[in-house]
Structure 1
Amino acid sequence: MAALQVTFTWIAYAIVVALCMLVTATFVFIYQEPRERSPAVTTVSIVTLTSLLATVLLLPVDVALIASTSDPKLGRKKDWATPERVDSILLTLKIVYYALYSLDALLCLIVAPFTYFWYEEYEDTAEDSGGQSVGKRLWAALKYTLVFVALVVILFLVGFFAPIARDRKGKHWDLDYFKHLLAENHGERALTFALGLLITLGTILYVFYTASGIAILPISFIKSAPSISAPSLVASTASQLEINRERQRQLEGRSAGRSSLSAKDQRELEALVREERTLVRRQRLAAEASGEGRSWVIKAWAKTQAIFRPIKLLGGILLLLIFAIIWLSMLLTGIDKAKNSVCKHHCGYLLAHINVFNPVNWIFVNSARVFPLDYVIITLLVLIFFCSSVVGIATIGIRFLWVRIFQIRSGHTSPQALLMATVMLTLTVLAIDYSLVMIVAPQYATFGSQTICKNAPKNLILQPDCSKHPELVRPCSERSDSSVCTPTVVSTFLNRVMVNFPFFGVVCFWAQFVFLAVSLLILITALFRTPKLNEAQLDEDAEVAEEEGLLASAGRRFGATWEDITGKARTNQAGGAGRYGAAGGAPDARED
Structure 2
Amino acid sequence: MALIQTSLIWVAYIAAVVLLLAIAGIFVFTYQTPRDRAASVTTVCIITTTALLATVLLLPVDVALVSSTSLSSQGRKKAWATPDRVDSIVYTLRVVYYTLYSLDAVLCLLVIPFTYFWYEEYDEDAAEHGEQTFGQRFWGALKYTVSFIFFVIIIFLVGFFVPFAKQAKRDDRLDLDYFRHLLQENHGERALSFALGLLSVVGTLIYILYTGAGLALLPVALIKSAPSISGPALAANTASQLEQNRERQRQLEGRNLGRQGGLDSRDRRELEALIREERTLIRRERLAAESTGERHFLVKAWNKIEAVFRPLKLLGGLILVIVALIIFASMLITGIDKAKNSICKSGCGYILGHINIFQPINWILVTSSKVFPIDYILFLLLVMFFFSASIVGIATVGIRFLWVTLFKIRKGRTSPQALLMATVMLTLIVLAINYSVAMVVAPQYATFGPQTFCDLEPRHPGEQPDCREHRSAIKPCTELAENPVAKEVCTPSVLSTFINRITINFPFFGIILFWAQFAFLGVYLIVFVTTLVKTPKLDQEQIDRDLEEDEEEGLLASTGRRLGATWQDITGRVRKTSEYGATNTEGERS
Say if 1:557 and 1:549 are closer, same or farther in 2 by CA, change over 3 A: closer
Residue 144 of structure 2 aligns to a residue whose secondary structure is helix
Q: 8 Å contact 2:229–2:557 — kept in the other structure?
A: no
Alpha-carbon offset, residue 141 of structure 1: 2.0
Q: 8 Å contact 1:172–1:178 — kept in the other structure?
A: no
Alpha-carbon offset, residue 214 of structure 1: 2.0
- Counterpart of 1:540? 548
- Counterpart of 1:67? 67
The one-letter code matched in structure 2 to 1:215 is A
- Counterpart of 1:549? 557
Alpha-carbon offset, residue 111 of structure 1: 1.5
The one of 471, 480, 491 equivalent to 1:486 is 491
The one-letter code matched in structure 1 to 2:581 is G
Partner Cα separation in structure 1 for residue 495 and residue 70 of structure 2: 18
Partner Cα separation in structure 2 for residue 260 and residue 167 of structure 1: 85
Partner Cα separation in structure 2 for residue 86 and residue 314 of structure 1: 45
Residue 166 of structure 2 aligns to a residue whose secondary structure is coil
Asked if residue 508 in structure 1 is aligned to residue 508 in structure 2, the reply is: no
- Counterpart of 2:78? 78
Which string of whole-angstrom CA distances, capped at 9 and with x for unpartnered residues, describes residues 438-467 of structure 1? Answer: 111110000000012236579875655321
The one-letter code matched in structure 2 to 1:451 is T
Asked if residue 518 in structure 1 is aligned to residue 523 in structure 2, the reply is: yes
The one-letter code matched in structure 1 to 2:221 is S
Which string of whole-angstrom CA distances, capped at 9 and with x for unpartnered residues, describes residues 383-421 of structure 1? Answer: 222222222222222221121222222222222222222
Residue 122 of structure 1 aligns to a residue whose secondary structure is coil
- Counterpart of 1:326? 327
Alpha-carbon offset, residue 120 of structure 1: 1.8
Partner Cα separation in structure 1 for residue 304 and residue 178 of structure 2: 58
Partner Cα separation in structure 2 for residue 269 and residue 196 of structure 1: 62
Asked if residue 194 in structure 1 is aligned to residue 195 in structure 2, the reply is: yes
Q: 8 Å contact 1:70–1:484 — kept in the other structure?
A: yes
Alpha-carbon offset, residue 476 of structure 1: 1.0
Which string of whole-angstrom CA distances, capped at 9 and with x for unpartnered residues, describes residues 14-63 of structure 1? Answer: 11111111211222222222232222222222222211111111101100
Partner Cα separation in structure 2 for residue 87 and residue 449 of structure 1: 19
Say if 1:400 and 1:73 are closer, same or farther in 2 by CA, change over 3 A: same
The one-letter code matched in structure 2 to 1:328 is A
Partner Cα separation in structure 2 for residue 26 and residue 73 of structure 1: 42
Residue 466 of structure 2 aligns to a residue whose secondary structure is coil
Asked if residue 529 in structure 1 is aligned to residue 535 in structure 2, the reply is: yes
Partner Cα separation in structure 1 for residue 317 and residue 74 of structure 2: 42
Q: Map of 1:89-108 to 2, 5 A cutoff?
A: 89-108=89-108
- Counterpart of 1:442? 443
Partner Cα separation in structure 2 for residue 288 and residue 134 of structure 1: 32
The one-letter code matched in structure 2 to 1:473 is I
- Counterpart of 1:6? 6
Q: Map of 1:173-184 to 2, 5 A cutoff?
A: 173-184=174-185
Q: Which moved more, 1:146-155 or 1:190-199?
A: 146-155
Say if 1:68 and 1:544 are closer, same or farther in 2 by CA, change over 3 A: same
Q: Map of 1:218-233 to 2, 5 A cutoff?
A: 218-226=219-227
Asked if residue 155 in structure 1 is aligned to residue 155 in structure 2, the reply is: yes
Q: 8 Å contact 2:538–2:557 — kept in the other structure?
A: no
Asked if residue 355 in structure 1 is aligned to residue 356 in structure 2, the reply is: yes
Residue 370 of structure 1 aligns to a residue whose secondary structure is coil
Partner Cα separation in structure 1 for residue 501 and residue 188 of structure 2: 13
Q: Which runs of 5+ in 1 are unaligned?
A: 577-592
Partner Cα separation in structure 2 for residue 559 and residue 505 of structure 1: 52
- Counterpart of 1:36? 36
Say if 1:166 and 1:535 are closer, same or farther in 2 by CA, change over 3 A: same
Alpha-carbon offset, residue 4 of structure 1: 0.9
Percent identity between the two aligned chains: 58
TM, length-normalised to structure 2: 0.85
Q: 8 Å contact 2:242–2:282 — kept in the other structure?
A: yes
The one-letter code matched in structure 2 to 1:503 is F
- Counterpart of 1:143? 143
Say if 1:187 and 1:268 are closer, same or farther in 2 by CA, change over 3 A: same
Say if 1:573 and 1:320 are closer, same or farther in 2 by CA, change over 3 A: farther
Alpha-carbon offset, residue 72 of structure 1: 0.9
Partner Cα separation in structure 2 for residue 25 and residue 288 of structure 1: 19
Partner Cα separation in structure 2 for residue 544 and residue 58 of structure 1: 38
Alpha-carbon offset, residue 518 of structure 1: 1.1
Residue 474 of structure 1 aligns to a residue whose secondary structure is strand
TM, length-normalised to structure 1: 0.85
- Counterpart of 1:451? 452
Residue 167 of structure 2 aligns to a residue whose secondary structure is coil
Alpha-carbon offset, residue 318 of structure 1: 2.1
Q: 8 Å contact 1:48–1:422 — kept in the other structure?
A: yes
Say if 1:502 and 1:47 are closer, same or farther in 2 by CA, change over 3 A: same
Q: 8 Å contact 2:453–2:476 — kept in the other structure?
A: yes
Asked if residue 164 in structure 1 is aligned to residue 164 in structure 2, the reply is: yes
Q: 8 Å contact 1:31–1:408 — kept in the other structure?
A: yes
Partner Cα separation in structure 2 for residue 363 and residue 113 of structure 1: 40
- Counterpart of 2:214? 213
Q: 8 Å contact 1:64–1:368 — kept in the other structure?
A: yes
Say if 1:282 and 1:223 are closer, same or farther in 2 by CA, change over 3 A: farther
- Counterpart of 2:21? 21
Q: 8 Å contact 2:342–2:350 — kept in the other structure?
A: yes
Say if 1:197 and 1:4 are closer, same or farther in 2 by CA, change over 3 A: same
Q: 8 Å contact 2:123–2:132 — kept in the other structure?
A: no
The one-letter code matched in structure 1 to 2:111 is V
Partner Cα separation in structure 2 for residue 451 and residue 376 of structure 1: 23
- Counterpart of 1:584? none
The one-letter code matched in structure 2 to 1:393 is I
Q: 8 Å contact 1:225–1:313 — kept in the other structure?
A: no
Say if 1:304 and 1:14 are closer, same or farther in 2 by CA, change over 3 A: closer
Q: 8 Å contact 1:121–1:140 — kept in the other structure?
A: yes
Q: Which moved more, 1:364-373 or 1:266-275?
A: 266-275
Q: 8 Å contact 1:447–1:487 — kept in the other structure?
A: yes
Partner Cα separation in structure 2 for residue 28 and residue 240 of structure 1: 33
Asked if residue 497 in structure 1 is aligned to residue 498 in structure 2, the reply is: no
Alpha-carbon offset, residue 374 of structure 1: 0.9
Q: 8 Å contact 2:280–2:547 — kept in the other structure?
A: no
Q: 8 Å contact 1:458–1:483 — kept in the other structure?
A: no
The one-letter code matched in structure 2 to 1:85 is R
Asked if residue 386 in structure 1 is aligned to residue 384 in structure 2, the reply is: no
The one-letter code matched in structure 2 to 1:188 is E
Say if 1:69 and 1:112 are closer, same or farther in 2 by CA, change over 3 A: same
Alpha-carbon offset, residue 78 of structure 1: 1.5
Residue 188 of structure 2 aligns to a residue whose secondary structure is helix
Partner Cα separation in structure 2 for residue 127 and residue 25 of structure 1: 29
Partner Cα separation in structure 1 for residue 142 and residue 280 of structure 2: 47
- Counterpart of 1:590? none
Say if 1:574 and 1:560 are closer, same or farther in 2 by CA, change over 3 A: farther
Partner Cα separation in structure 2 for residue 395 and residue 71 of structure 1: 47
Say if 1:158 and 1:537 are closer, same or farther in 2 by CA, change over 3 A: farther
Residue 209 of structure 1 aligns to a residue whose secondary structure is helix
Partner Cα separation in structure 2 for residue 574 and residue 288 of structure 1: 31
Q: 8 Å contact 2:467–2:474 — kept in the other structure?
A: yes
